[in-house]
Amino acid sequence: MKICVIGSGFVGLAVGCVLADCSHEVACTDVDHQRVTGLQGGTAALSEPDFDDLIQRNVATGHLLFTTDSREAAAGADIIFIAVGTPATLSGEADLSQLWTAIDQLLPTINHDCLLVIKSTVPVGTASAVRKRLDQSPSASKLISLISNPEFLRVGAAVTDFKHPQRVVLGSTSEAALQKMEALYRSFVEPSIPIYKMGHESAELSKYAANSMLALRISFINEIAELSESLGANIHDVVSVLSSDNRIGPHHLKPGPGFGGSCLLKDVQSLVSQAGEHGRQFGIGEETLKVNERQSDNVITKLSDALGTLSGKRICLFGLTFKAGTDDTRESPSIRIADKLLATGATVTAYDPAYRGEAGIRIGSVIYADDPYTGCENVDAIVITTDWPEFAELDYAEIAQRVTNKLIIDTRNILDPTRITEHGFHYVGKGLPHIT
């Protein structure tokens, strides 16, 4: 099949690369010339495993090409995926400008039967608004069938998650379109994986509900971790008990500094805003966001409980990315913590194994160090903000020699408290009894 993918971020690239690898003829587009030039040269510039290999292999076989010309890419395509960004506006609504621009550019090009697949996360009702826009164009109206196909892949596992999804969601009013999409997915998805077919609204809402549930679980466990600290319990024990209940399960129950990334926060905010537009309240979503924001405040409280005033203190953050396994710092809890620390008058240094900045440069007012040992030179505290496993492997005897004050706030509970305290550190984990 001839396939066009509009938007070559991590979702669009996962779709494009996997379908090209299944021998479809795929053209991926992006408005960012520099990104397209990189992709044409075989580099995704995203720290996603598999992308570069897949791109190079499929560009070489001629199954995959990259262009900034979406009209040319869409000409004659059987299926056009829209995978553009839908970032949050300041008021929390999803900004659909990239989606509308893409559709307006495509419309004059379509003179053949095709499926238009909305893969971007869009507010409920968007497919119906897109349908209205298509119907204003007499030619496109009959030719284009619309599908909502939300994506559930994780940053850092985009290709694996697209190839091996836990479920596929397809929303449409056209049975023929649903069948065509089902056949496309069945060509590479295991037979046991359910493909759910439904209306557009249910498909759109499923995506927001899934991300809201994940966010809710994280805020839930973070609040239980806070309670553990006050009540003298150990969050590891509590999580073991919860996880072993099949009805609860183990996923997204790791306490931490709050969820980050470009998806969970924006999607909960958007659902809160969508509920408000319909005279409803998504109260549990609002609470999820409040608890999440409080997690970074709690780090500041733990630091000031131990150090007194933070003005003039030097704090080193281990981690800038929103989770391990990516170089993505969008909505990272580390950045939230850094901003709050800077507001107290503290000096903040940071080290992250995936951050691509140059040593000694400033990210905002954060001074970036290119190794963890330099980063924690003469600091009053170290805060572990990202769950990079290598932070557990550092030489804490060496670090103890370099810091001014031996305090570690481990928001991810990745260090072994016994080992750390042997080096004289005061260790403060998340939801754990204090150890000195």
Binding site for ligand UGA (CB under 6 A): 121, 151-155, 211, 214, 218, 252-254, 256, 259-261, 263-264, 322-323
Which string of DSSP letters, residue by residue, matches 197-257?
EE-HHHHHHHHHHHHHHHHHHHHHHHHHHHHHHHHT--HHHHHHHHHTSTTT-STT----S
Gap between the Cα atoms of 74 and 68, Å rounded: 11
Gap between the Cα atoms of 132 and 113, Å rounded: 18
Residue count (the chain): 436
The nearer residue to ligand UGA, 144 or 325, going by C-beta atoms, is 325
The rounded radius of gyration (Å) of the Cα atoms in the chain is: 24
The nearer residue to ligand UGA, 6 or 379, going by C-beta atoms, is 6
The nearer residue to ligand UGA, 302 or 323, going by C-beta atoms, is 323
Plot region of 197 (φ>0 → left; ψ -120 to 50 → alpha; else → beta)? beta
Please answer whether residues 170 and 202 qualify as being in contact, where contact means their C-beta atoms are separated by less than 8 angstroms. Answer: no
Minimum gap (Å) between residue 116 Cβ and ligand UGA: 20
The nearer residue to ligand UGA, 58 or 121, going by C-beta atoms, is 121
Query: Which member of 4, 28, 263, 376 is catalytic?
Result: 263
Minimum gap (Å) between residue 330 Cβ and ligand UGA: 9
The nearer residue to ligand UGA, 106 or 261, going by C-beta atoms, is 261
Minimum gap (Å) between residue 207 Cβ and ligand UGA: 7
Q: Is 263 a catalytic residue?
A: yes
Minimum gap (Å) between residue 326 Cβ and ligand UGA: 7
Residues contacting 341, CB < 8 A, separation 6+: 300, 303, 310, 315, 348
Minimum gap (Å) between residue 103 Cβ and ligand UGA: 21
Side by side, the strands of the sheet bearing 2-6 are 64-67, 25-29, 2-6, 79-82, 114-118, 144-148, 168-171, 195-198
Gap between the Cα atoms of 428 and 308, Å rounded: 16
Minimum gap (Å) between residue 355 Cβ and ligand UGA: 15
The nearer residue to ligand UGA, 58 or 86, going by C-beta atoms, is 86
Cβ-in-10-Å burial (0-12, 13-18, 19+) of 426 comes to middle
- Strand pairing partners for 88? 94
Two structure tokens written together for 385: 């903000």
User: What residues act catalytically?
Assistant: 263
